[in-house]
């Protein structure tokens, strides 16, 4: 909090962070960047690696780092998005524009298609499709024979993620086996996989949410605009703000209101809630993040609130 208040203005400009007064912050981000670049370069080992790119902030940072890691050559990855069909249009537009800018091939596979095929069956048409993503992801992995999938997950997000390796081996069913995790020593990663298996790789493992926002500010990484303050029609429910959309209409007894909000995460519309905020840029968000009192998944992800072990169970089934 102290840092953000003192240096909030300076954080807005990328160059200001290079100044001597901010040496500890710059050194910290440099160290995280060097580590992530090292991990991304390890992926040159694979024949067909894909970087999971949803247009969310973590995947935006991941893509930025991937371009840096292989510059001046081209990053040897394709981009993959598993689209629930419940994404904010703003995020999808950003995803497509960013992919085009980088010149990397973007592959989109839709949960909708898995539903048509019958491999996914939902309890209701408006139910959250987050869990169903695992099925579509596996189908995409098999279709393209991806041997490595790169994700932006961080260990600070959730208890089950806190136990994840950087190189996380998955069997032919895409399942994570927490008891059979390979020991991971000194950054001497074990990249080997057997026939039909694949590796999930998490270069941002050691980053925290504050690190992500500070890095976005320093590197001037563009994001979908709904990460910053905007007016949105919401209803108050169970202590959260629920966005009012076609998929998520207000209930009969609820009054919709217009508030200044921003999204802290941008997942499936049916299970992602905004928070009240006046943050106009990444430096403002960083300041708010450093004074947050509720963990982010607890605040905004209904699917995690359902059960303490929800994430772990989804990971066992092949979720990122």
Q: How far is the CB of 297 from other proteins (least distance, A)?
A: 5
Please give the backbone phi and psi of residue 235, each rounded to the nearest 5 degrees, phi first.
-125, 155
- Site membership for other proteins, residue 42 (CB under 8 A): yes
- Site membership for other proteins, residue 24 (CB under 8 A): yes
Site for other proteins in 95-154 (CB under 8 A): 151-154
The span from the CA of 29 to the CA of 36, in Å, is: 10
Q: Which of 161, 232 has the CB closer to other proteins? A: 161
Range in contact with other proteins (rule: CB under 8 A) among 97-105, 113-121, 209-217, 252-260 = 209-217
- What own/partner pairs with CB < 8 Å and gap ≥ 24 does 295-301 have? 296/157, 296/209, 296/264, 296/265, 297/157, 297/158, 297/265, 299/240, 299/264, 299/273, 299/275, 300/240, 300/263, 300/264, 300/265, 300/272, 300/273, 300/274, 300/275, 301/265, 301/267, 301/271, 301/272, 301/273
Site for other proteins in 251-270 (CB under 8 A): 264-267
Q: Mask 54-73, x = binds other proteins (CB under 8 A)?
A: x-xxxx-------xxxxxxx
Question: By CB under 8 A, how many residues form the interface with other proteins?
Answer: 84
- Site membership for other proteins, residue 206 (CB under 8 A): yes
Range in contact with other proteins (rule: CB under 8 A) among 95-103, 110-118, 184-192, 249-257 = 184-192
Q: Which of 154, 232 has the CB closer to other proteins? A: 154
- Site membership for other proteins, residue 2 (CB under 8 A): yes
Range in contact with other proteins (rule: CB under 8 A) among 35-43, 111-119, 138-146, 276-284 = 35-43
Q: How far is the CB of 50 from other proteins (least distance, A)?
A: 13
Please give the backbone phi and psi of residue 114, each rounded to the nearest 5 degrees, phi first.
-65, -35
The span from the CA of 263 to the CA of 243, in Å, is: 10
Q: Mask 211-240, x = binds other proteins (CB under 8 A)?
A: x-----------------------------
Q: Which of 28, 48, 78, 230 binds other proteins (CB under 8 A)?
A: 28
Q: How far is the CB of 126 from other proteins (least distance, A)?
A: 21
- Site membership for other proteins, residue 184 (CB under 8 A): yes
The per-residue b/e assignment along 253-283, b for 16 or more CB within 10 angstroms, e otherwise, is eeeeeebebbbbbbbbbbbbbbbebebebbb
Range in contact with other proteins (rule: CB under 8 A) among 118-126, 204-212, 249-257, 276-284 = 204-212
223: nearest Cα among 282, 270, 174 = 282
- Site membership for other proteins, residue 183 (CB under 8 A): yes
């Amino acid at each position: 909090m102290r840092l953000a208040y003192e240096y909030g203005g300076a954080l807005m400009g990328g160059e200001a962070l290079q100044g001597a007064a901010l040496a500890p912050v710059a050194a910290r981000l440099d160290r995280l960047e060097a580590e992530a670049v090292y991990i991304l370069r390890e992926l040159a080992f694979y024949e067909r690696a894909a970087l999971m790119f949803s247009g969310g902030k973590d995947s935006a940072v991941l893509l930025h780092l991937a371009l840096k890691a292989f510059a001046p050559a081209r990053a040897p990855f394709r981009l993959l998005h598993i689209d629930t069909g419940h994404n904010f249009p703003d995020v999808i537009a950003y995803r497509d524009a960013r992919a085009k800018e980088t010149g990397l091939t973007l592959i989109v596979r839709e949960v909708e298609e898995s539903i048509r095929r019958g491999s996914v069956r939902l309890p209701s048409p408006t139910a959250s499709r987050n869990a169903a993503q695992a099925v579509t992801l596996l189908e995409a992995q098999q279709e393209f024979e991806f041997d490595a999938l790169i994700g932006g997950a961080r260990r600070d997000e959730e208890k089950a993620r806190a136990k994840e390796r950087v190189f996380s081996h998955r069997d032919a069913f895409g399942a994570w086996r927490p008891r059979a995790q390979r020991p991971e020593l000194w950054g001497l990663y074990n990249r080997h996989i057997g026939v039909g298996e694949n590796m999930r790789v998490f270069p941002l493992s050691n980053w925290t949410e504050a690190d992500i926002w500070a890095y976005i500010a320093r590197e001037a990484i563009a994001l979908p605009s709904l990460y910053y303050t905007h007016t949105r029609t919401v209803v108050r429910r169970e202590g959260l703000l629920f966005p009012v959309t076609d998929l998520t209409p207000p209930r009969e007894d609820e009054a919709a209101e217009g508030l200044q909000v921003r999204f802290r995460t941008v997942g499936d519309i049916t299970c992602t809630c905004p928070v009240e905020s006046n943050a106009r840029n990444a430096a403002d968000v960083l300041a708010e993040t450093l004074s947050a009192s509720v963990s982010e998944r607890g605040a905004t992800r209904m699917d995690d609130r359902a059960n303490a072990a929800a994430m772990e169970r989804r990971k066992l089934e092949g979720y990122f």
